[in-house]
Amino acid sequence: MTDEKNNKTHFGYKNVNSKEKPDLVKEVFDSVSNKYDLMNDLMSLGIHRLWKKATIQMSNLKKGDKVLDVAGGTGDLAILFSELVGDSGKVYLSDINEKMLEVGRDRVIDSGCNNIKNLVADAEDLPFQDEEFDCISIAFGIRNVTNKEKALKEFNRCLKSGGRLLVLEFSNPEYNWLSELYDLYSFNLLPKLGEWIVGDSKSYEYLAESIRMHPNQEVFLEMMNTAGFVNTEYQNMTGGIVALHIGEKN
């Protein structure tokens, strides 16, 4: 979380000026964008696709609805949302990182979806009117946001009454043995995999650190409550390695 008084936040395990973090995060994703999907498949053994499908199933969307996928990068969720809302609906695929969004644009074109609009947008300052969306999602992106509280308030502002927020993110494993195994993998094997596939171990060291610095399930749930969401809950996946947080606008 951001320390507004001292204007400091974390970038992995480092403390940095909050104004510097967006550029630091941009460097990470500029570096990994071309191999991002491949690395996701390798890192999770393909399980990330199941996490995302489970997220989509909780959206309560119908034909003609309007969806915003924040930090949507390579377009995985946007393409799945596109099928749910149909030609009469609209999906906005947004990301603050232009290189990631370029990959997403290409995937959207290849998928043949014609109801997806791509745009560069900051989660903390969304370029949309109040109460515009039936659903907003962010998958594996909220931990990279500098001011999570501000972003959550923006999501709430842009949702229609009764609209649903879906936050899929790495979280705290439920079991000590799993946490120890996960740490061993994250801090030893993951950077080596990044070096081998992407030629960049530092970005994947940041990835591991950013996961550990992200608020745990209960803390993030309370942050959603504070931002004004109701009927909030979370569902652990794969033993809590990942959690899906769900909330609705009153």
* Per-residue confidence (pLDDT) for residue 4, from 0 to 100: 47
**pTM for the full predicted model:** 0.92
Residue 2 has pLDDT above 70, yes or no: no
Catalogue all structural domains in the chain, each as residue range(s) with its CATH number: 22-174+205-249 (3.40.50.150)
* Per-residue confidence (pLDDT) for residue 1, from 0 to 100: 52
* Per-residue confidence (pLDDT) for residue 142, from 0 to 100: 97
Residue 114 has pLDDT above 90, yes or no: yes
Mean pLDDT within 10-22: 88
- Give the least confident one: 40-44, 94-98, 212-216: 40-44
- Give the least confident one: 66-75, 140-149, 196-205, 213-222: 196-205
Q: Is the dihedral of CA 32, 193, 45, 179 positive or negative?
A: negative
Q: What secondary structure does DSSP assign to the chain, as a single string?
A: --BTTTTEEEETTEEEETTTHHHHHHHHHHHHGGGHHHHHHHHHTTHHHHHHHHHHHTS---TT-EEEEET-TT-HHHHHHHHHH-TTSEEEEEES-HHHHHHHHHHHHHHT--SEEEEE-BTTB--S-TT-EEEEEEES-GGG-S-HHHHHHHHHHHEEEEEEEEEEEE---SSHHHHHHHHHIIIIIHHHHHHHHTS-SHHHHHHHHHHHHS--HHHHHHHHHHTTEEEEEEEEEGGGTEEEEEEEE-
The larger pLDDT score, comparing residue 14 to residue 248, is at: 248
- Model confidence pLDDT, tens digit, residues 128-170: 999 999 999 999 999 999 999 999 999 999 999 999 999 999 9
